[in-house]
Structure formats: structure tokens, C-alpha cells
Amino acid sequence: MSDTCFDDLQTSAAAIEARLGISRREFTQFCATTATTLGLAAGSETAIAQAVQSAKRPSVIWLHYQECTGCSESLLRAEHPTLEKLILDTISLDYHETLMAAAGHQAEAARKSAMAANKGKYVLVVEGAIPTKDNGIYCKVGGHTAMDLVKECAADAAAVIAIGSCASWGGMPSTGPNPTGSSGVAKVLGKPVLSIPGCPPNPYNFLATVVHFLTFGTLPALDSLGRPLFAYGRIVHENCERRAHFDAGRFAMEFGDEGHRKGYCLYKLGCKGPETYANCSTIGFGDVGGSNWPVGCGHPCIGCTEQGIVFTKPIHALANLRSATPPASYPGVVEQQGQTSFAAGAAMAAIAGAAAAATAMLTKNLGKSAAEAPQPKDE
Ligand code: SF4
């Protein structure tokens, strides 16, 4: 970063310090981390700092339909208070059914007045699936169906964000036999929307999306399913901290067995990381330190960002392997899970040019039963 950019960023940070109540250091870290998460060019953190400190925050209308409110919970009950504060101070949350004090007619009036005051400029966020069967009568708010409300609110929105797997494609409510005809926002509106799937979605991905909109006035680049590429461009498996074990053919065969306790790969316990696009293995979850995501805690990835995997494919079913080629380098090994020496050794072997051997070992062991698989040894 040039001195000028650095000075600008420091000035911006000083200005926002008072508003957000976070330290300059935390704010500069936030801007730099967000720029990195979004894959932006060097120097973009200055633009982000200037955009976030802007007095005019985008108005957000947040609707809730068929869901558990877990998406809002994950956004607002982050372990680290800075995240919640940044979200609430970066946007103007003008309508949110589970957070606002107003109720009944007052709530409806608040929604309509926020929409009128920010016509064509507000961001519509939808949490939850939308029932479409029998003209949508299975979910009504203020006497109107969810179907009608989402169409009304989307008509004058600058951007529409479907947050969570339910809003993205129907999620849990759409699981067969789907008695209410639950659908995602894009299907109901008949046009693509930005989707941040996950059950729940990662709050950083929502915040980074909003910051991108705030900074550049546009939404980030999307994949064919409407997901931001910065967050859903790679499969979980590529950056998993257990990947070295996968490539070496070392698998946990049962929950609680020695391989499981030693942090071996969870593929044979049904981990869907090899077919799930998400950045959980890169940025973690819940802001509580290392191993703060399902695989890090010893549970297989359930593919919660992917339609047709979570809530559909049994947890014990094996994932389809999109690629068995070991990466050129490996993420850090989680030391508290043990086997640092083994995993590090496997990584070094791959880096040193033994990738082909690792692939061969993996291929060999993938087809073995629990009895045939190599047993972990104390090191
Ligand atoms: Fe990680 Fe799951 Fe891939 Fe194993 S199968 S390396 S636990 S993502």
C-alpha cells in the first residue's frame, strides 16, 4: 500500500473509530480482510474504508418467511461483537420482522415508508423459503402472501439478496414431499438474484457482499447459481485442514475411532466437502478461533450450500469426488487435533513432488472397507 493510500486509510479509520466504537487497528484489519476476501486489487481497502465511513448507509428491507431465523441468529450473535456492530453500522436496517420493535400496522407502515423513501435504492434481503402451492396461502404476513410481498418489495429494490439455503433454493422446507411448494426467491421472482446459501450462511460473506455494493455500487461477480464467486468459487475440500490425510489415504472410519480422534479425513464418514462449493475451510465460521467450522470440530461437511446434497443426500453417503488431485500446497495443520507430524509430513511429501504417490495411496484406500483400511499408529 502506498503512503498516500495508507494515510487516507488511517484518516478514514480515525473518522469511523468514533462512529463504530471499534479501534483503528480493528477497522483497518477489517478493510484489508474484506478486500482480500473479495479478491480485490491492492489498495482497494482504502476505497472500502471511505465507503463504509460514508454517512449514507444503504437501506435494507429484510423479510422472513419459511425458516428458523438461524441466518439472522448467525449474523447477529457472532462471538466477536465487532462483526455484529459492523453489519448493523454498515447498513440501515429499516425493516426486520424479528428485530424491530414495531408490530402489526406499525410494522407494515415502517416497511412501506422505508420502501418509498429509498425507492430504487434499497437492498432487499429475503430469509426463508417461499411457499407457492395453493397460491402461496401457507405463509402470510399482514394478510398478504409471502409470494406477493416478495414481488412487491423486489420491484423497487436496487438489489435482491437471498440469504441462507431456504431463500436460495427452498432449503429444508422444500425437502420432499414439499407439501407447501417451497421455492427460492429467484424462482418466485422469475429472475436471478444474489444468493448466499448455507445453513446458516457465513456472516462474513453477507458483510463482504454488502461492502462490495457499498464501495462499487454493484454486486460482486456471481456463479451460474447466483452465488458470489469470492465465497463459492472453490470446493471446501481444496482448502480443508484435513486434506493432507485425504491425499495420504488416512480416514476416520467411525465416529470416535482412533483416526477420528487424530484428526484424519472424514470422507468415509460422509463428508461432502469434495462436492460442496463454499469458503468455510478458508475463513472458518463463528469468529471463535481455529477449527471453528464443522470439519474442524470433527463433523463431516453436510454440503449445506448445495441444492441436492444437504437435506437430500444421507449424511453417511459418500461424496462424489470432483477431483482427487492433491493441491500444490496445504492449509495449516490443526495442532490441537494431534497428528501434526504426520499431516505436516504428508504435506511436505506432496510439495516435494510425491503428489502422484499420494494420489495412488488415496485411490488405493478409498475402496477399502473399515477392516482393510490402514490403522492409525502412534507417532
Ligand atoms: Fe476435508 Fe472432508 Fe475433504 Fe476430508 S473429505 S479433506 S474432511 S473436506
**Mean pLDDT lowest among 146-160, 183-197, 291-305, 313-327:** 313-327
CB-based contacts of 290: which residues, under 8 Å, 6+ apart?
284, 296, 334, 336
Confidence grade of residue 222 (pLDDT, cut at 50, 70, 90): very high
CB 236 near ligand 1, within 6 Å: yes
- Provide mean pLDDT across the span 287-296: 75
Q: Are 123 and 59 in contact (CB under 8 A)?
A: yes
CA of 371 to the centre of ligand 1 (A): 21
CB neighbour burial string for 267-295, b if at least 16 within 10 angstroms, e if fewer: bbbbbbbbbbbbbbbebbbbbeeebebbb
In terms of DSSP bridges, do strands 130-131 and 144-145 run parallel, antiparallel, or are they unpaired? unpaired
Ligand 1 nearest atom to the CA of residue 245, by list position: 6
Instruction: Calculate the alpha carbon distances from 287 to 30, 194, 202, 276, 349 in Å.
Output: 13, 24, 10, 21, 32
pLDDT of amino acid 9: 54
Indicate the top mutation candidate among 234, 238, 243, 365 to test ligand 1's pocket, ranked by most ligand atoms within 8 A of CB. 243
CA of 273 to the centre of ligand 1 (A): 5
Q: State the Cα–Cα distance between residues 286 and 266, nearest whole angstrom.
A: 21
Confidence grade of residue 177 (pLDDT, cut at 50, 70, 90): very high
Predicted confidence (pLDDT) per residue in 5-40, tens digit: 445 555 555 666 666 666 777 777 777 777 777 777
**Mean pLDDT lowest among 49-53, 297-301, 327-331:** 327-331
- Number of alpha carbons in the 13 Å side-chain half-sphere of residue 229: 8
pLDDT of amino acid 372: 53
Q: State the Cα–Cα distance between residues 185 and 230, nearest whole angstrom.
A: 21
Confidence grade of residue 74 (pLDDT, cut at 50, 70, 90): confident
Confidence grade of residue 131 (pLDDT, cut at 50, 70, 90): very high
pLDDT of amino acid 234: 93
In the block, cell 412501506 appears at 112
What 3-state DSSP class applies to 46?
A: helix
> Does 283 or 29 have the greater pLDDT score?
283
Instruction: Calculate the alpha carbon distances from 37 to 78, 84, 211, 283 in Å.
Output: 18, 18, 11, 9
pTM: 0.80
> Does 36 or 347 have the greater pLDDT score?
36
Nearest CA to ligand 1 atom 4: 265
Confidence grade of residue 118 (pLDDT, cut at 50, 70, 90): very high
CB neighbour burial string for 226-247, b if at least 16 within 10 angstroms, e if fewer: bbbebbbbebbbbbbbbbbbbb
C-alpha cell at 247: 491425499
Ligand 1 nearest atom to the CA of residue 267, by list position: 5
CB 86 near ligand 1, within 6 Å: no
pLDDT of amino acid 335: 41
Q: State the Cα–Cα distance between residues 348 and 327, nearest whole angstrom.
A: 12
What residues pair up with 96 in beta bridges, in sequence order? 62
CB-based contacts of 95: which residues, under 8 Å, 6+ apart?
60, 61, 62, 63, 107, 110, 111, 114
How many distinct helices (H) and strands (E) make up the chain? Answer: 16, 9
Residue 3 in this model has a pLDDT that exceeds 60: no
Confidence grade of residue 217 (pLDDT, cut at 50, 70, 90): confident
Q: Are 153 and 120 in contact (CB under 8 A)?
A: no
Could you tell me the domains of the chain? 1-55 (no CATH), 58-214+224-232 (3.40.50.700), 236-366 (4.10.480.10)
CB-based contacts of 256: which residues, under 8 Å, 6+ apart?
none
Confidence grade of residue 347 (pLDDT, cut at 50, 70, 90): very low
CB 166: neighbour CB atoms within 10 A? 31
CB 267 near ligand 1, within 6 Å: yes
pLDDT of amino acid 33: 76
pLDDT of amino acid 287: 59
